[in-house]
Structure 1
Amino acid sequence: MKICEICGLPKDLCVCEEIAREVQKVKVYTVRRRFGKLMTIVEGIDEHDIDIRELTKTLKSKCACGGTSKKGQIELQGDHKRKVKEVLAGMGFSSDTIEIK
């Protein structure tokens, strides 16, 4: 059985990630890239507390788009600001701390 290094509970019962989700200040905005394509950028998520690769994978599947995670940001192809906020709120992030620009 693996033990969490932060809280000392077994990994199955660990609540560190859930607590971290509630206090994150997430910014969601779009930028224009090459050839006028829109990219939705999600930033402000601490990589040490939350598995950003798993979060990227979930957002890509829920938004039905391509994307990647670079430099602590999640980049999604297309304009998905509203959908990202809904998905993040459903995953336990506080909707008050998700800022859409």
Structure 2
Amino acid sequence: MSTKKKVLNDFGGIMYSTDPGFVYEEEEQSPREALPNNQQDLRVTLDRKNRGGKAVTLITGFAGTEEELDKLAKTLKSKCGVGGAAKDGEILIQGDFRDKVILLLQKEGFKVKKSGG
């Protein structure tokens, strides 16, 4: 899955080319290495920014494939009984479920820390 280019620096400084045959060559990103659960340091925070005042539980620091991230997100969402999303290496769980998420992740064998307030 290719990531969307967001700023000019993502293109390596190329703004415009007059060469009709020019093709921008992207560097291939190496896939994330999957670490065992006991070697991953996850951070669980409560986030309200840019969400209209609604609180979400944010889990960051996951190192693994997108499939593993989606699987973990689905497990957490079903155990908490709420919705959420998994994208950009982060898991969003709707609502304030920090304590419950920490316990669930510790049962899975992750090293988890509560960060923020």
TM-score, length-scaled by structure 2: 0.63
| % same residue | 36
Query: 1:72 aligns to what?
Result: 89
Report SS of the residue matched to 1:84.
helix
CA RMSD of aligned residues (A): 1.9
Q: How many residues align?
A: 81
Which of the pair is proportionally richer in helix? 1
Asked if 1:28 corresponds to 2:25, the answer is no
What pairs with 1:1-101 in structure 2 (closer than 5 Å)?
Answer: 20-32=36-48, 33-48=50-65, 51-93=68-110, 97-101=111-115
Whole-angstrom CA distance in 1 between matches of 2:57 and 2:40: 18
**Relative to 1, partners in 2 of residues 1:78 and 1:48: Cα closer, same or farther, differing over 3 Å?**
same
After TM superposition, what 4+ stretches of structure 1 lie above 3 angstroms from structure 2? none
Larger Cα Rg: Structure 1 or Structure 2?
A: 2
Superposed displacement of residue 49, structure 1? 9.2
**Relative to 1, partners in 2 of residues 1:72 and 1:64: Cα closer, same or farther, differing over 3 Å?**
same
Q: What are the ranges of 5 or more consecutive residues in structure 1 without an aligned counterpart?
A: 1-16
